[in-house]
Structure 1
Amino acid sequence: MDDLDRRILAILQRDATLPVERIAQMVNSSKSPVWSRIRKLREAGIIDRQVAILNPAKVDQDEVFFVTIKTSSHSKNWLERFAAAIATMDEVQEAHRLAGEIDYVLKVRVRDTRAFDAFYKRLVAEVDLFSVTSSLSMETLKETTVIPLDDDHADD
């Protein structure tokens, strides 16, 4: 990946609906090489997928809970059951296995606390959990899908 690829990716991360002609103008190139690079970035798996990012409040899904989980079992079987369970739960937007005292953290998006309670009951019915703590996000200060591609802000 060279600098031109990075500039193209930076643009696409912010707005993947832009026409190739516009992207080419923005990176001071012509349409054919930009289109070719985008195709190669897709084929290489660097561009994983393109999606529409919805406004949660407009679709009545604006409550976010962070769920921290401790487990007493660290077996392969337990992890497979846990991963399978959360894979079927559309409310789980992110799930991370952590190093440290907490084993897992989930980002869960729901309509309201009643919907969260229903999610919680399904989760604990699916897998044995040692300890579960939930925190309601009161305000989102920053949320992005953009992955930094350069070191321009490394000294900030």
Structure 2
Amino acid sequence: MREAGTIKREVALLDQQALGLGITAVVSVDLERDSVEQTETFKRKAKNDPHVTNFYCIAGDSDFVMIVVAKNIQDYEAFTQRFFFADKNVRKFRTSIVVSTVKATLEMPL
């Protein structure tokens, strides 16, 4: 698989709780304007923020879905102020807080 280029990279799966990251949030985001430049700017911002662990451009009710980790609810609130409320191009965002993780894997069905 390495020779074929199927393996992109190898990573260590870290214990989120042991790292003090007690909050996982699933956040859907709608932008005010869908211009290419504004969309690319938002995507770059998400890609560069360490709180955002996964970021997806989607088709459906929202423009994006992201997974965000934070130390606690106060840390998450500070993230929302900085990341969403301070961005005039974010029309709305909806947060679902994870209460328990049943499955979280990077494994692919082979």
- Using the size of structure 2 for normalisation, the TM-score is 0.90
Instruction: Report the alpha carbon displacement of residue 55 of structure 1 after superposing the two structures with TM.
Output: 0.8
State the distance in 1 between where 2:72 and 2:88 align: 23
1:98 equivalent to 2:76? Answer: no
The superposition leaves residues 50-103 of structure 1 with CA deviations (integer Å, 9 ceiling, x where unpaired) of: 111111111111310111111231111011110111122101011111111111
| Structure 1: gaps of 5 or more residues | 1-40, 150-156
Q: Is contact 1:81–1:127 with CA below 8 Å preserved after alignment?
A: no
Q: Give the % identical residues.
A: 27
Report if the CA contact (8 A) 2:47-2:55 is conserved.
Answer: no
Pair 1:75-2:35 in alignment: yes
SS at match of 1:55: coil
Separation in structure 2 between the aligned mates of residue 111 and residue 56 of structure 1, nearest angstrom: 9
Amino acid at match of 1:87: K
Q: Which runs of 5+ in 2 are unaligned?
A: none
Q: Return the TM-score normalized by structure 1.
A: 0.65
Q: Distance in 1 between matches of 2:62 and 2:109?
A: 27
Q: For the Cα contact (< 8 Å) 1:72–1:129, is it kept in 2?
A: yes
Quick one: higher RCO (CA 8 Å, sep 6+), 1 or 2? 2
Normalized per residue, which structure has more helix? 1
Q: 1:137 aligns with which of 85, 90, 98?
A: 98
